[in-house]
Structure 1
Amino acid sequence: SNTVSQTDCYVSLSLPTASSETVRTKTVKNCKDPVWNETFCFRIQSQVKNILELKVYDENAITKDDLLFTVLFDVAKIQLGENVRLTFQLNPKAQEMLDVEFALDSIPVPPEKLVTNGVLVSREISCLEVLLDNSWTKNKPSEKDFLFSVKGSYEESQTLSLGSSWRPMKPLDFHYIKYSLAELRVALAEQKLNSGLPFLYLAYTVCDGLLWGRNFSKSNSRVCDLSRNLDVRLEFDLCMEEKNFLQKRRKFVASALKKALHLERDLQDHEVPVVAVMTTGGGTRALTSLLGNLLGLQKLDLLDAISYITGSSGSTWTLSHLYQSTDWSHKDLSRLIGEVRRHMTKCKLSCFSLESLKYYDKELKLRKQEGYQISSIDFWGLLLEKALSDGKNNHKLSDERQALSQGQNPLPIYMILNIKEDYSLSEFKEWVEFTPYEVGFLKYGAFIRAEDFGSEFFMGRLMKKLPESRICFMKGLWSNVFSYNLLDAWHLSDPTERCSLRCTQHRTVDVGDEPSPPARSHELETYLVTPECGIMDIIRQVLTERVMVSKFYNFLKGFQVHNEYLQSRSFCIWKDTVLENFPNQLTETAEFMCLADTAGYIDISYPPLMRPERKVDVVLHLNYSSGSQTSPLEEASKYFLKQGIPFPKIHLSEEEKKNLKECYIFEDTETPEAPTVVFFPLVNDTFRKYKEPGVERSPAEMTQGNVDVSSVFSPYCLNSFTYTEEEFDKLVELTSYNIQNNKHLILQALNSAIEQKRQHKK
């Protein structure tokens, strides 16, 4: 507030679901108790969550206006036909309050065609066609650029050039929400570029019909064709392609289990368990170890028993390599492992040769021309391509469908986090899954075709198709460990520490409103947000700044949140950010998605397997994390317990953690929906003395059993990108052995899952 004089207050009002424009009252100068008595009207859609933002400012003629308070009010609290005056307590000690009168009336118009999954809502959109009538320039040659803008539209702003010679001009299209309060604004482009003065706008309320402006422009509004389906699938259910895959895969699983468990009869469909392999990150250690684990499963004839394989960070490098072969799980993995071995043991200096740098520059320029927001993460992807393959690889994620066409391989799922630049991971993160079929948000139930990832969307419609990214760029994205900020690093060093965040956050409290309207379950509380002092804002900016961020166009752009979104269980089981009660700040309002590796929060790829629709019965947890081998599993168990997602509780004593075995089984017998977890930490236990299960090493072979996977001097540390042939072979042999040596525990879990499914059917 102004410490020299009394405040010069005004109030701004914003209702983003109704209008992208912010309106404001006049300024009442030098007044302790300002009265405005101004009326503002918004046209709202009652099926979406309308949060009115009332901001009280102290106007300052010299510096930026001071934001004093922000009130967030859920319009759903107002009943139709009601006229009510509410008082919002801003500062009880100073007896500062804001009185606002609300009235809600219905408008006799045809019902709007909405598409919703109970969390997100797609509304009708119109297309405003702007055609410049430049016939009057025949006798008045002119070269002017006009800037047209419709705030809140897909296009936002576009430029029309008025040439020196008359010619027919191509119209401009603006796509915007049909029933929103939108304005078409026009200005000379140089006024925006060169002048510090405000625009001289020609503003019109956009509605169906013709609009004319000052002899030089006309525009026409038409409703977009809604007969076709949305390009974003708004469903929490599995896509049809995945359902068809599972039906085909079930035959492979049933046959493999009959053979492995020596069953006397074929399994019926309802008896076949869904078995998944869950892998973690860990760079080249994860890349190599996963190959060994899969080789062990192949030697046990159990690869065909697996329906899903999930990966994050380094393990995605393995998966994206394997799925370039359409029948990889039925081929001898030794050959594929040999290919990776060749790349893992070669010198990586060529990655930084002049020829390589020219190649990177060429590919990045091409990617920018295609329409992508390039970043250092794309350069990282090109480095991975050079280091782990032979030259340019045109393989794409959607190409992996060929490896699933007959159900011949498990379905790969790649896991990543959607984050925000000004929040830490512990404050905001959303799980995003990638399959060869779709890319989607678990929390919102919104999915797009894999080949459309990176393209531009608005209100669920594909507006601009970009070429699908090559797999190297996806590898760089899935292993993006470079987007962490200082608060993320603090959390990684001490996951239990939370108080470091509080002092930097704006103070947000539930203030209620007087008189209090009758509460309904879907209504949000009224919140008062008080900005922290300037130094705290600066500190927070430093702590939350992300130097390198991987940005992709947000395919949720334009969607609005359903009025009863918090009543959706499918949303609530993934509701774990500080913004869930502030829908105006959720992902659907962002232009870009910011994506990062999951390891900054919990180094797991469990979430896709915990979707209730996938009904996973058994998870083979293959751990490759740095540091504590049990921490990711323990953190995952706590997380799912907090979210209300069925998952076994993990109980290991400190003594057990110091002397880990090769395999553990965790299950929750009281909760049938919870999967059985078969946990494989990355340890070297009996492999020291046994080269194969039951076959002891000779004295001359004992050195082969010395595989250091845990000390600070281990050759398999996270920043190691090149192994010797011996180091590579030892890690593959160890991880393959650990699987084979615990065959009995894997079969025990599989057998129990079959029995449980039989009992459940009864």
Structure 2
Amino acid sequence: MQLNPDGKQRTSLTKVESSPCYLLTVRVIRARNIHQADVLSHTDCYVSLWLPTASNDKFQTKAIRNCKDPVWNETFYFRIQSQVKNVLELALYDKDVVTQDDHLFTVYFDIAKLSLGEEVFMHFKCDSQRREELEVGFALDNISGPPETIITNGVLVSRKICCLEVQVVEKKKKKKKSKKEFSFKVQGSYEGTQDIVLGSGLAFSSSFPAKFHYARYKQPTLDVTLPGKKRPPSSNSHVYDTSSANVELHSIPSGKNMILAEDKRFDLFAKAEDCPDHLDVRLGFDLCIQEQDFLCKRKNYVMPALKKVLQLEQDLLDHESPVVAVMTTGGGMRSLTALYGSLRGLKKLNVLDCATYLTGLSGTTWTMSNLYRDADWSRKDLDKQISEARKHMTKCKINSFSLEYLKYYKKQLCQRKREGRKTSFIDLWGLVLESFLHDGKDNHRLSDQQQAIDRGQNPLPIYTAVNVKNNYSTLDFKEWVEFTPYEVGLQKYGVFVRTEDFGSEFFMGRLMKKVPESRICFLEGMWSSLFSFNVLYIWNLSHSSEDFWHRWTRDQIDNIEEEPPLLVKPQELQTRLFTPPGPLGSALRAVLADRVCIAQEHNFLKGFQMHDDYLENTHFRRWKDTVLDTFPNQLTQSDQFLSLVDTGFFINTSIMPLLKPERKVDVILHLNYSAGSQIQALDQTCKYCSEQGIAFPRVDLSEEDRKKLKECYLFDGAETPGAPVLLFFPLVNDTFQKYKAPGQKRSESEMEDGKVDLYGCCSPYSTYSLQYTEKEYDLLVQLGEYNILNNEDLIVQALRTAVARKRQIKK
């Protein structure tokens, strides 16, 4: 049984096992009919080889001058892990002396196509019209030595890592003190480069060695620059000085000191040791132990509440109790305010005690983070919280930009930078939000909310964001990220970290540098990062298609022929050709796809590698929807930082964590606070779930309803096995115009209060409004509450339907 460092059992889906490594031999033979890239001469071709799962370095052949049919016949060797998705990138370049080398094309070849013990010679047909071709030989053989211990969940692989300690021992200390600076580099290690300075009163002893953490089997090399020598201009070069140490680290015996270099002035020693196999991240697709414990405790509140709401004579049995979730959408201060009203309505109906989860994004995360400061907020009426929010919503916001506040913002941003974070305008936005919504500094952190759910007394809050890539539109690349008081993670990869550790630095699943947990205002800024837009997003708001822009922003990737044709298994990738865009295309892509500002946090997936069968993993396939999913070398585990934005930049919904099968959600109360179309986010969710094969109710609304929405719709999902029951509450002003409470008509003097202009051109409730009058605030809260109370019958019907289904499933 494998345990986490805290003694808790790991998920059963995570395996710790021994897996063999193989020797891959790549012989770059020749190319034919390479088109002329230069105007005045033929190409000076060379081939670059990049296999990041096996080596930290890129290798290249020599350049053949002025030849369209170059012959290299050069051989390269790689030690590869058999359970890792190894995709070799063979890039053909035209060498230029003055300008940057021209990138002609790149071939992506999946090593899993090769059979052990066989040698094949491949002809890659790169351009059928010009008859361009690249000829490469491959061989895959067993390799001597013990197998490697890996940890995997079927999508990610954590490999064996080692810690190298480099020691400098000074032999003679001169009377005249002078500095001696040594530079050590292990490319691909967590630390990268470290410098040691001797002399000038600086002491160096065995307790302060230079340390490097690196993947043991990725052909790492220690490069040393001795005092008085210059570092080379190329990051890939290993030759610094003929007398310097340049050591392949696999040659250093584990646990023993080894002399790297001896000099009359100093000695260099190194020692390498294997790091423990336990991980500081959670690899798995099930719920964490803490959430499982919460679910057991929450039932003690949910089951009596359901009995009361449904007016049952007998207690519900454990298997009859449905999992109910309250799901919200964003909408700035409008969503913050309306959510208070919706929750007060649910509280009055006793339905809030029936809920197990509460999810949010953008503006509703501000409401949620305020509520969960009180460990028993849902056990009380919400008048106090609503009154407190009213005070901040109606106050003048200009003071937030005073000189005193600006000095405070600068001090806080400098502190975050000293902690090792990458700060941006999004952090400043979080501080501005703090001043908008609170009096003074707010020290609350997300992990503090564990006190509000430790007895199961409140629904479990889930906050959402999406991880993006700066050169891609959100439609092309986005990955769901969920935040709870217990952990933060990406369900697509099945990797999670403790909430306290989010923002810290990790390597291959091990915690390398602990960074203090962020105050929640910085997370609120990220969850509602209105400033992370790009031109493609703006275009998509007014057009249903990105086809025009994709001509300039999508990579040109084509499947290519290969001889001999190799048998392709389901988990293997087809051989593909990437043709880089020209200068105009690259410039347009930068203009269209780059985002104005983005929140970046240290990537806790850094160093992991993709499992050879990751594309066939059912969990990964459920969320597989980006253009890079079949390019394992370019997925998130290869990035230094996560790039996180407001979920609304894709779909204005926080529903995705609730569709995780392990949460088994039976009823979703969809509280919509979007601007403009109230049905758009729901339609987008239906389309997305249909494409992904996720069970979701069919939204069947008539044209009449779409033109004039009612307060609530029930979609029972009967036509879709496994789909939850969905209650959809658009934010509309329907019967509220004539009724101040369910069944209580307004008097003539009260009719004015029913005129709540939500979306008109002069509406005070714009998404970008920062301040309401007291009356505007009160009316929006009352409207949110009324729309819940006025649809009690539909809520009860949804709960009864879910209970009946649970009973039927048991039978």
TM-score (norm 2): 0.92
* Residues 741/167 of structure 1: CA separation in 2 closer, same or farther (3 Å cut): closer
- Distance, in Å, in 1 between the alignment partners of 2:749 and 2:117 is 89
Indicate which of 570, 575, 581 corresponds to 2:630.
Answer: 581
- Distance, in Å, in 2 between the alignment partners of 1:639 and 1:600 is 14
- Distance, in Å, in 2 between the alignment partners of 1:196 and 1:236 is 42
- Distance, in Å, in 1 between the alignment partners of 2:230 and 2:750 is 76
- Distance, in Å, in 2 between the alignment partners of 1:196 and 1:69 is 23
* Residues 2/403 of structure 1: CA separation in 2 closer, same or farther (3 Å cut): same
Residues 1:177 and 2:215 aligned together: yes
**Residues 48 and 59, structure 2, Cα contact 8 Å, conserved in 1:** yes
Deviation at 1:33, TM superposition (A): 0.6
- Distance, in Å, in 2 between the alignment partners of 1:547 and 1:758 is 52
Deviations 1:441-479 (A, max 9, x none): 010010000000000000001110011111111111111
In the other structure, the counterpart of 1:53 is: 89
**Residues 187 and 199, structure 1, Cα contact 8 Å, conserved in 2:** no
In the other structure, the counterpart of 2:273 is: 223
Indicate which of 40, 60, 85 corresponds to 1:4.
Answer: 40
Deviations 1:137-174 (A, max 9, x none): 54785323332111111111111113245843421111
Deviation at 1:190, TM superposition (A): 8.6
User: Which moves more between the two structures, 668-677 or 346-355?
Assistant: 668-677
Residues 1:150 and 2:186 aligned together: yes
Alignment of 1:123-134 (within 5 A): 123-134=159-170
- Distance, in Å, in 1 between the alignment partners of 2:790 and 2:85 is 55
In the other structure, the counterpart of 2:340 is: 291
**Residues 192 and 199, structure 1, Cα contact 8 Å, conserved in 2:** no
Residue identity matched to 1:714 = S
Deviation at 1:671, TM superposition (A): 2.9
* Residues 495/435 of structure 1: CA separation in 2 closer, same or farther (3 Å cut): farther
- Distance, in Å, in 2 between the alignment partners of 1:688 and 1:345 is 24
* Residues 345/445 of structure 1: CA separation in 2 closer, same or farther (3 Å cut): same
Alignment of 1:592-741 (within 5 A): 592-741=641-790
Indicate which of 400, 407, 410 corresponds to 2:456.
Answer: 407
Residues 1:42 and 2:92 aligned together: no
In the other structure, the counterpart of 2:66 is: 30
Residue identity matched to 1:105 = D
- Distance, in Å, in 2 between the alignment partners of 1:330 and 1:167 is 60
In the other structure, the counterpart of 1:340 is: 389
- Distance, in Å, in 1 between the alignment partners of 2:145 and 2:124 is 33
**Residues 329 and 653, structure 2, Cα contact 8 Å, conserved in 1:** yes
Residue identity matched to 2:83 = Q
- Distance, in Å, in 2 between the alignment partners of 1:190 and 1:746 is 77
Indicate which of 422, 426, 429 corresponds to 1:380.
Answer: 429
Alignment of 1:55-454 (within 5 A): 55-136=91-172, 138=174, 141-164=177-200, 167-169=203-205, 170-187=208-225, 200-201=239-240, 202=244, 203-207=246-250, 208-209=252-253, 210=258, 212-213=260-261, 215=263, 216=266, 218-227=268-277, 229-454=278-503
* Residues 46/219 of structure 1: CA separation in 2 closer, same or farther (3 Å cut): farther
**Residues 146 and 160, structure 1, Cα contact 8 Å, conserved in 2:** yes
**Residues 504 and 532, structure 1, Cα contact 8 Å, conserved in 2:** no
**Residues 628 and 634, structure 2, Cα contact 8 Å, conserved in 1:** yes
Residue identity matched to 1:222 = A
Alignment of 1:485-524 (within 5 A): 485-524=534-573
- Distance, in Å, in 2 between the alignment partners of 1:59 and 1:760 is 67
**Residues 323 and 355, structure 2, Cα contact 8 Å, conserved in 1:** yes
**Residues 51 and 72, structure 1, Cα contact 8 Å, conserved in 2:** yes
User: Which moves more between the two structures, 651-660 or 120-129?
Assistant: 651-660
- Distance, in Å, in 2 between the alignment partners of 1:130 and 1:641 is 55
**Residues 159 and 189, structure 1, Cα contact 8 Å, conserved in 2:** no
* Residues 79/219 of structure 1: CA separation in 2 closer, same or farther (3 Å cut): farther
Residue identity matched to 1:760 = I
Deviation at 1:296, TM superposition (A): 0.3
Residue identity matched to 1:179 = Y
* Residues 509/140 of structure 1: CA separation in 2 closer, same or farther (3 Å cut): farther
**Residues 327 and 360, structure 2, Cα contact 8 Å, conserved in 1:** yes
- Distance, in Å, in 1 between the alignment partners of 2:660 and 2:357 is 13
TM-score (norm 1): 0.97
The total of aligned residue pairs comes to 761
- Distance, in Å, in 1 between the alignment partners of 2:193 and 2:510 is 19
Residue identity matched to 1:93 = Q
- Distance, in Å, in 1 between the alignment partners of 2:538 and 2:73 is 50
User: Which moves more between the two structures, 158-167 or 564-573?
Assistant: 158-167
Deviation at 1:2, TM superposition (A): 1.5
* Residues 181/193 of structure 1: CA separation in 2 closer, same or farther (3 Å cut): closer
- Distance, in Å, in 2 between the alignment partners of 1:504 and 1:403 is 46
- Distance, in Å, in 2 between the alignment partners of 1:501 and 1:219 is 54
**Residues 178 and 223, structure 1, Cα contact 8 Å, conserved in 2:** no
In the other structure, the counterpart of 2:18 is: none
Deviations 1:468-498 (A, max 9, x none): 1111111111111211211122122224333
Gaps of 5+ in 2: 1-36
Deviation at 1:655, TM superposition (A): 2.4
Deviation at 1:191, TM superposition (A): 6.8
Deviation at 1:363, TM superposition (A): 1.2
- Distance, in Å, in 1 between the alignment partners of 2:544 and 2:229 is 51
Residue identity matched to 1:184 = L
- Distance, in Å, in 2 between the alignment partners of 1:630 and 1:115 is 44
Deviations 1:674-714 (A, max 9, x none): 01110000000000000000000000000010101121211
Residue identity matched to 2:358 = I
- Distance, in Å, in 1 between the alignment partners of 2:95 and 2:717 is 60
Deviations 1:164-223 (A, max 9, x none): 458434211110001111111223699768979978525321123335136355343433
**Residues 619 and 675, structure 1, Cα contact 8 Å, conserved in 2:** yes
Alignment of 1:504-583 (within 5 A): 504-583=553-632
- Distance, in Å, in 2 between the alignment partners of 1:184 and 1:98 is 33
- Distance, in Å, in 1 between the alignment partners of 2:786 and 2:750 is 15
Deviations 1:329-348 (A, max 9, x none): 01110111000000000111
- Distance, in Å, in 2 between the alignment partners of 1:711 and 1:325 is 36
User: Which moves more between the two structures, 218-227 or 442-451?
Assistant: 218-227
Q: RMSD over aligned Cα, in angstroms?
A: 1.7
**Residues 711 and 731, structure 2, Cα contact 8 Å, conserved in 1:** yes
User: Which moves more between the two structures, 636-645 or 505-514?
Assistant: 505-514
Residue identity matched to 1:220 = A
Deviations 1:39-64 (A, max 9, x none): 00000001000010100000011100
Deviations 1:350-395 (A, max 9, x none): 1011111111111111111222111111111111111101111111
- Distance, in Å, in 2 between the alignment partners of 1:4 and 1:140 is 59
